[in-house]
Structure 1
């Protein structure tokens, strides 16, 4: 599961391969043009794989960090139903943000750890982050802003993957 930027970069690499292959096709019989095109295609495939791997690595790292933060919560109670998200927006820096609201239904002040997944319109995972809402008063709602770790493009959606009250 890689982000749109990886697919876009792979598209640019592919366009370069097509250009090199087209340049290699000529009416003259001067050298091994199909070999050059093959080498260019191989190099482009390797570059695209490298870009996809970097995108996957960044997503895997963000997911692992989110899991670690949630696993570090002591005496947490599942509270996914007490959390709502606003409408996500992509800022001038390319990072997506979304308002996170958590209602504390407990009888004393509690904190919340909320994992927010940033997805594309098809539900494919683009990024993951955890936001903490500290000391939300009993019966009150606390607000925070979740921000993606990297630049996201296109139609970004958000989902509460997990929430703990502690």
Structure 2
């Protein structure tokens, strides 16, 4: 005998739901929804105002007492943001945001997975052609690099 009512059983996995829909179901989530919408709107404005390299690595926080918290991925971006701060505050004020200053903090982002090692393969004919070319050149860095590349691709076979 099951401890659950037969009417409470789900028929399968539930489909993902938009965050706005979940937060709008009850009034208890109203402040949280307002905060999420505010951060999303600030992010859209920052994406429009900042250069691409900065916008991709900057996350907005909440506006508290007229101060917007911005989180940069590393110190160099934070320093660049500090140079742009007066213009950024003026531009955000022009877009209707009630803020007086920006507080820039560093919040390191998760380390991305390293790029996979190169998987380039050279045919035996190509490796032989590189070896022949390296033998015709005078001793130089290019000749050494070609010989090394040819040797690396011929010894794998």
Superposition TM-score tier, normalisation by shorter sequence? under 0.3
Larger helix percent: 2
Higher relative CO (Cα under 8 Å, sequence separation at least 6) belongs to 1
TM-score (norm. length: structure 1): 0.23
TM-score (norm. length: structure 2): 0.24
